Amino acid sequence: MALPALHADGLRYAYRGVPAVYDVSLGIEEGEIVALLGANGAGKSTTVNMLAGVLRPDAGRIVWKGEDIAGLAAHRVMERGIALVPEGRLIFPQMTVLENLQVAGTSRRAADGFARTLDEVLAVFPRLRERADQAAGSLSGGEQQMLAIARGLVGRPALMVLDEPSLGLAPMLVRAVFDLVRDLNARGMTVLLVEQNLRQSLKVAARGYVLEKGRVALAGTGPALLDDPYVRQAFLGL
């Protein structure tokens, strides 16, 4: 069996002594789309922030392509090919679309062949190309989310971690974001999709993990999760 590209084992994190993640283990194989699901406060963001080096785990291992990366700084994790698109987008509103992408392109991994990467990324997002010289803050919510994803892409990651990309978007834009995830995956990108929107995300992710109170409550394929009595009651209101 192929080793997973990313494997996290026994992750734990507390904010100033208040535990948020108790014990999270998960694996992602190359080429997969995996969903990390759960209600508000379940520990999804804390988990992915540990994966991306934003938070240093109190305990646990994160192995990426055979190397233990737990506790590495975020820029080092990025250099190794993991890009986090954080919740809330975090773009620079006063800077233009192009400047936002250029700033994201200053990492060593991105700098190599940047002009070509930028061209490829803008080909995925024609709206961003049209608005390249416009202040990022003047974009619509959906366009800002696209820009946040584009910022991740200019680093030429092997794994994209998208933290609630559909948050606050109108249903049509949510569909556009999920279509984009599917499209990126078809081009070879491995994706960890963090979502509260279980039904939508399991349309694109083949399998998922459901977090509850800082632990993995359930894991399985999309159909198995959608059929699970607990999931149906707690997430789908059935």
Stretch 53-92 residues interacting with ligand ATP (CB under 6 A): 87
Q: Which stretch binds ligand ATP (CB under 6 A): 15-23, 26-34, 103-111, 225-233?
A: 15-23
Out of 26, 42, 55, 216, the residue judged to bind ligand ATP by CB under 6 A: 42
Query: Does 41 sit near ligand ATP (CB under 6 A)?
Result: yes
Stretch 157-216 residues interacting with ligand ATP (CB under 6 A): 196
Query: Does 46 sit near ligand ATP (CB under 6 A)?
Result: yes
Query: Does 43 sit near ligand ATP (CB under 6 A)?
Result: yes
Nearer to ligand ATP, 51 or 154 (CB): 51
Stretch 21-40 residues interacting with ligand ATP (CB under 6 A): 38, 40
Query: Does 113 sit near ligand ATP (CB under 6 A)?
Result: no
Q: What is the DSSP string of the chain?
A: -PPPSEEEEEEEEEETTEEEEEEEEEEE-TT-EEEEEE-TTSSHHHHHHHHTTSS--SEEEEEETTEE-TT--HHHHHHTTEEEE-TT----TTSBHHHHHHHHTTSHHHHTTHHHHHHHHHHH-HHHHHTTTSBGGGS-HHHHHHHHHHHHHTT--SEEEEESTTTT--HHHHHHHHHHHHHHHHTT-EEEEEES-HHHHHHH-SEEEEEETTEEEEEEEHHHHHH-HHHHHHTS--
Residues that bind ligand ATP (CB under 6 A): 15, 18, 20, 38, 40-46, 87, 196
